[in-house]
Amino acid sequence: MSDSETCLISQAYSSDLFSAAAGHWKSLLTEHLQRLQAGNSKVLNWVPPDESIASAAQWMNAALAKQSDGPAEGVRKLIAQMLASGQNLHHPHYIGHQVPAAVPLAGLFDAVSSVTNQVMAIYEMGPWATAVEYALLGGLCRKVGWNDQHSSGLLTHGGSLANLTALLTARNVSIADSWKTGIPPGTTLVTNADVHYCVTRTAGILGLGAQNVARVPVDSRRRMDVAALERTLTELRNSGRAVMAVSACAGSTPTGAFDDLKGISEVCRRHGVWLHVDAAHGGALLFSRKHRHRLEGIAEADSIVWDAHKMLFVPALCTAVLYRNRAHRFETFQQDAPYLFDPSAPGMADIDSGMRTVECTKRATGFGLWGLWCLFGEELFEQLVDHTLGMTRHFYQLLLTESDFQTLHEPECNILAFRYLPSELRTASLERQNAFQREVRTRLIRSGEFYIVQTTLDGMAALRVTVMNPLTTTQDLQELLDSLKRAGQQVLGH
Ligand SMILES: Cc1ncc(COP(=O)(O)O)c(C=O)c1O
């Protein structure tokens, strides 16, 4: 190879260039955090998607490293562009989706892993990543109330993949030989009516057929109705249909409601059915002495999914799948991969993650969580949970004093759905009222003042907040109300 062929390679791998670029990285990110935390910017810098894509494509023609100001300056420009064009979760007015303003320090641990490319599948490729994952799984199992010698699990990329993994395990255990011979027609997945779509989607992926999901109605607190679950399981048994699993919610997506896990587990035990708990959002309450009672009965679950990139405030993605019975960890997949797994060292199969995960090469997802746990101890997670739930309750109480606002539930977690109905809309059609909620939200988020989201409950469109930034204050919440009123008046043409 000629010098000109290799000079970009030596530049790309230069530790001097890395050091100069990392200096820019550090100062730009620090300034960014300072600016956002002071509320000195828009929350979302809204740009229509086609403009964003065109701009990103244009940068790809820039060949910045060849420009006269050099590659480190090119890195600076690129990072500046990324920061200027993203969603600003660290702004205290970000009160939107269930994605947190992650603890910034957690990103530093993730960055070490990215730069050194620590991966998993086999222990040899990521020995410390594997050790960290195992230590975390032990810690999380103990929080559930399990003996970590008898339980087990894995980390994977997000709640959706985690629910799929856990429910595949449930299918293989509940329906004997299904991995090899398939499943009997009519096999059913039973869920809470407010279940996240990634759970019902597994019915299509796992071969049950999307129509074979029985959604159990919710009660007035939007929790799975336990008596209705009993009836559903009895009817399914009487009609000769196998049940793959019951999937309950600990922190439902629309309202953050917690199912009665104790009651549900008793029904499942009686019917001999696998109990899966989607605690992607609410698992973190197990760290809180004040709130962990919401998950009473979770230790009876056969499998649990718990997103650390939600209420444990680490960067996406980091999700635990946990199994009460340690033996179930090898029931998910049944395949040979002799080039990866050494039969002369069978003990390593328990350590090598690849036998138990959808991924072969797997990004080491646990460093952020592990780093925070080591630095601050469990108490940080308890404080994050208690504080964000406290702020949500404060907002709920604020709304109760406002006649133009209607809360749709009492918050059990850090999620609250509500409607804004100025007097002139109270007698309007549901359709008009629904359209108004959406128009107000769009106007609000495009202004960049706040970022909140929307949902639909029983046909009613609603505004929805999730307090996912622990730096959001009571004053910010008061300002949200004021901004909503302003946006509403503009929508109404006043
Ligand atoms: C209850 C629940 N389960 C699962 C998911 C999916 O998790 P992820 O977005 O990590 O795939 C979500 C996402 O918000 C959720 O709220």
Q: Whose CA is nearest to atom 4 of ligand 1?
A: 159
What pLDDT sits at residue 348? 78
Residues of the chain with pLDDT under 70: 1-6, 335-343, 346
Q: Which of 99, 205, 281 to mutate to test the pocket of ligand 1 (most atoms within 8 A of CB)?
A: 281
Give one DSSP letter per residue of 98-116, joined into a string: S-----HHHHHHHHHHHHH
Residue 108 in tokens: 């530093």
Could you tell me the distance, in angstroms and rounded to a whole number, from the CA of residue 223 to the centre of ligand 1? 17
Q: What is the pTM of this model?
A: 0.96
Count other C-beta atoms under 10 Å from residue 63's C-beta: 8
Residues in a beta bridge with 120: 362
For residue 413, the surrounding DSSP H or E stretch is: none
Q: Which of 156, 157, 160 to mutate to test the pocket of ligand 1 (most atoms within 8 A of CB)?
A: 160
What tens digit of pLDDT does each residue of 19-67 get?
999 999 999 999 999 999 999 899 998 999 999 999 999 999 999 988 8
What tens digit of pLDDT does each residue of 271-290 get?
999 999 999 999 999 999 99
CA-CA-CA-CA dihedral for 288, 291, 296, 298, to nearest 10: -50
Contact 186, 193 (CB under 8 A): no
The three-state secondary structure class of 37 is helix
Helices (H), 221-290: 226-238, 261-271
Distance CA(433)–CA(319), nearest Å, equals 37
The three-state secondary structure class of 211 is coil
What pLDDT sits at residue 283? 98
What pLDDT sits at residue 347? 72
Tell me the C-alpha to C-alpha distance, in Å, between residue 45 and each of 49, 52, 61, 123, 190. 12, 11, 24, 42, 41
Q: What is the DSSP letter of 27?
A: H
What pLDDT sits at residue 341? 61
Residues in a beta bridge with 153: 322
| CA of 99, closest atom in ligand 1 | 14
Contacts 24+ apart (CB under 8 A), 19-25: 20/72, 21/71, 21/72, 21/75, 21/76, 23/72, 24/72, 24/75, 24/76, 24/79, 25/75, 25/79
Distance CA(476)–CA(482), nearest Å, equals 10
Residue 240 burial (C-beta neighbours within 10 Å; 0-12, 13-18, 19+): exposed
Count other C-beta atoms under 10 Å from residue 54's C-beta: 10
Contact 476, 391 (CB under 8 A): no
Contact 356, 154 (CB under 8 A): yes
Angle between helices 226-238 and 261-271 (to 10 degrees): 20
242-270 burial, b if ≥16 CB within 10 A, otherwise e?
bbbbbbbbbbbbbbbbbbbbebbbbbbee
Distance CA(138)–CA(142), nearest Å, equals 6
Count other C-beta atoms under 10 Å from residue 186's C-beta: 14
Residue 245 in tokens: 């699993």
The reply to whether ligand 1 has any atom less than 6 angstroms from the CB of 307 is: yes
Could you tell me the distance, in angstroms and rounded to a whole number, from the CA of residue 413 to the centre of ligand 1? 15
The three-state secondary structure class of 183 is coil
What pLDDT sits at residue 65? 87
The terminus-to-terminus CA distance of the chain in angstroms comes to 70
Residue 147 in tokens: 């003996």
What pLDDT sits at residue 354? 86
Domains of the chain: 112-378 (3.40.640.10)
Q: Give Cα 181 distance to the centre of its chain.
A: 33
The reply to whether ligand 1 has any atom less than 6 angstroms from the CB of 172 is: no
Sign of CA dihedral 334, 337, 340, 342: positive
Residue 83 phi, psi dihedral angles, 5° rounding: -70, -35
Could you tell me the distance, in angstroms and rounded to a whole number, from the CA of residue 338 to the centre of ligand 1? 34
Residue 192 phi, psi dihedral angles, 5° rounding: -70, 145
Distance CA(69)–CA(186), nearest Å, equals 66
Could you tell me the distance, in angstroms and rounded to a whole number, from the CA of residue 167 to the centre of ligand 1? 14
